Structure 1
Amino acid sequence: MSSVLPFVAEQLLKDIEKSYKEASQLPDDLLIALQCIFGSCALQALDLLDHRSVTCVSSPSGRRVFRVLGGSGQLYTCFTSCHYCPCPAFSMAVLKRNSGLLCKHILAAYLCQAMGQSQQEQVSDQDMSRILAGQAASDS
């Protein structure tokens, strides 16, 4: 995470992780800081967490991605290792306009990592390859 997020954002996620491990909740000062740094997508990301919309998908080879079910029902595969989400908001705000650090989906994935709150799913290496290629994983 250190190479993709500004230091302040990275430190905030570390503080959230520490605080959540100690108290199983986030104090108001960290929630306010989250809102100040990430703006409106902070509340939207927390809403995704509340709805348990984030799943950490991993394979035996150690590859890992986060799949986030957006409010519209669209499933987004987010890559925290390279700070990328394929959603239109990420494309517009982060890549084209450079007006935001990230979208609600990738922030939700980062928060799930920090708080240990994502659902877990194990898939085969073959299915992970399909996910990484943007194809649906097989049902077998």
Structure 2
Amino acid sequence: MSVPNGVSVMAGLLQIVKTEYQASGQLSPGVLHSLHTIHGQSLVNALDLIDSKKIKKVTSSCGRWLYQVTGSSGTPYVCLPNSAFCQCPAFKFNVVKRRDNIVCKHVLAARLSTAMGVAEEKSVSDEYIADVLAQMG
């Protein structure tokens, strides 16, 4: 019998988040507890970013998309869809180097806000997405 990893547990929780939030407009204490067990303080910080409307799902006409999340310090970060990648220092230190977290608060906020259906959506040109991605390298 295999033990699920944090990524697969998170995927399952995001589906529950989507279902619960669509049904009632809130998350149950049980789901919040499960999310907190996995993410700790990052969950609190991610929910604060969501409450502050700091997450944008940016989509181009060709279908490319990414998240732009404005951090608590006001710095904008790009988070890639279906990836744990973020440009923030916490990603490099806590996710990659120390492996304390599976995602940073920006990626968590982006995923939660999408599951909840509260991410602001912004349509941009294909060139805009290409420029943003080119600046990441």
Question: Could you state the TM-score of these two structures normalised by the residue count of structure 1?
Answer: 0.90
Structure with bigger helix share is 2
SS at match of 1:134: helix
The answer for the alignment partner of 1:89 in structure 2 is: 90
The separation in 1 between residues aligned to 2:71 and 2:15, in whole angstroms, is: 25
Cα deviation, residue 84, structure 1: 0.7
What's the % identity of the aligned pairs?
36
- Would you identify which runs of 4 or more consecutive aligned residues in structure 1 move more than 6 Å? none
1:47-96 deviations in whole A, cap 9, x for unaligned?
A: 00000000000001100100000011100010122221010001001111
The answer for the alignment partner of 2:7 in structure 1 is: 6
| Larger displacement relative to structure 2 (44-53 or 96-105) | 96-105
Cα deviation, residue 5, structure 1: 5.5
SS at match of 2:23: helix
1:70-128 deviations in whole A, cap 9, x for unaligned?
A: 01110001012222101000100111111211110000000011001111111100111
Q: Which amino acid aligns with 1:66?
A: Y
Q: Which runs of 5 or more structure 1 residues have no equivalent in the other structure?
A: 136-140
The answer for the alignment partner of 1:134 in structure 2 is: 135
Q: Which runs of 5 or more structure 2 residues have no equivalent in the other structure?
A: none
For 1:8-87, list aligned pairs within 5 A: 8-87=9-88
The answer for the alignment partner of 1:99 in structure 2 is: 100
The answer for the alignment partner of 1:124 in structure 2 is: 125
- Aligned residue pairs, count: 132
